Amino acid sequence: MRVKDSINKSLIKAAVLILFIVAAIFLVRFSPVKEYFTARQIGLFLNSAGYWAPLVFVFIYAAGVCLFLPGTLLTAIGAAIFGPYWGFLYVWLGAMIGASLAFFIGRYLGRDFAGSLIGGRLKRYDDAIERNGFATVLYLRLIYFPFTPMNFGMGLTRVRFWDYFSGTALGIIVGTFIFTFFVGTVKDVWASGRWVELVSWKVFFSIALFAFSFFIPKLIKKVKAARRIYVA
């Protein structure tokens, strides 16, 4: 009876996880509520928050990660409102909190069911993720693996939370900084009206960083391939 109860409990929790994900996607993509998750509406809300705007933004970003809001939208809003540097900090904090919450949701609701399905070859991968959790998470973050699905998905594996947390914290720094620096810099020039600054070193540097970010996954893959050849 205990085994049967355990199976039923894991099935119920897995069903709740699926319902949560479906409901979250429907809420922000197809329901009337989606009108409140536009860049304009979020920007107006943050502007009205005054001194609390940074804290409110971090909360919105964290909730948005769990609700499958596009990360690029939230990151662009943070950079446009708070600038390239403070924007980077607030975006990073919101992303880390949201990633941690999504991980725990996936771990609590889906890990037992996922574990019951794992066997043979899949178990080897699950064990490998546990042993090399930090490196695995870091690599997937650096190659821009879809952010929110990975947060929930990692919760289904045996990866240790602190490996996941540290791999995420380090792995998203590069992409987050590049994007916030680019958007924040262009927004500052636009707001100042000093169009001559469009040819400044800061704008060119931000564009170069933004373009370079798309080559990071290829560089990482080449390094890994070269390392495998060297080891062989």
pLDDT per residue as tens digits for the range 69-116 = 888 889 999 998 998 889 999 999 999 999 999 999 999 998 887 777
- Calculate the CA 33 to chain-centre distance: 22
**SS3 of 117, please?**
helix
**SS3 of 167, please?**
helix
Cα–Cα distance for residue pair 170/36, rounded to 1 Å: 31
Q: For residue 38, what are its two tokens?
A: 């536009």
Q: Which amino acid is at 169?
A: A
Q: For residue 121, what are its two tokens?
A: 């070859």
Cα–Cα distance for residue pair 108/156, rounded to 1 Å: 9
> What is the average pLDDT score of the chain?
83
In the block, residue with structure tokens 């064990």: 127
Helices (H), the chain: 2-29, 39-48, 53-66, 71-117, 121-131, 133-142, 147-155, 161-171, 173-192, 201-213, 216-231
**Residue 112 vs residue 4, higher pLDDT:** 112
Q: For residue 30, what are its two tokens?
A: 């197809």
Residue 102: its pLDDT value, please? 95
Give the Cβ contact number of residue 120 at 10 Å. Answer: 6
Q: Give me the count of residues in the chain.
A: 232
Q: Rounded mean pLDDT of 145-171?
A: 92
Q: Rounded mean pLDDT of 49-72?
A: 92
Residues 6+ apart with CB under 8 A from 115: 126, 158
How many angstroms separate the Cα of 100 from the Cα of each of 37, 139, 164, 171?
A: 22, 18, 9, 14
Q: Do the beta carbons of residue 107 and residue 31 sit within 8 Å?
A: no
Residues 6+ apart with CB under 8 A from 83: 184, 187, 188
Q: For residue 146, what are its two tokens?
A: 């879809």
Domain containing 88: what range? 2-231
**Residue 73 vs residue 184, higher pLDDT:** 73
Which stretches of the chain are assigned E, i.e. beta strand?
none
Residue 114: its pLDDT value, please? 77
**Model confidence at 223, in pLDDT bands (50, 70, 90)?**
low
Q: Do the beta carbons of residue 64 and residue 99 sit within 8 Å?
A: no
Q: Domain count for the chain, please give it.
A: 1
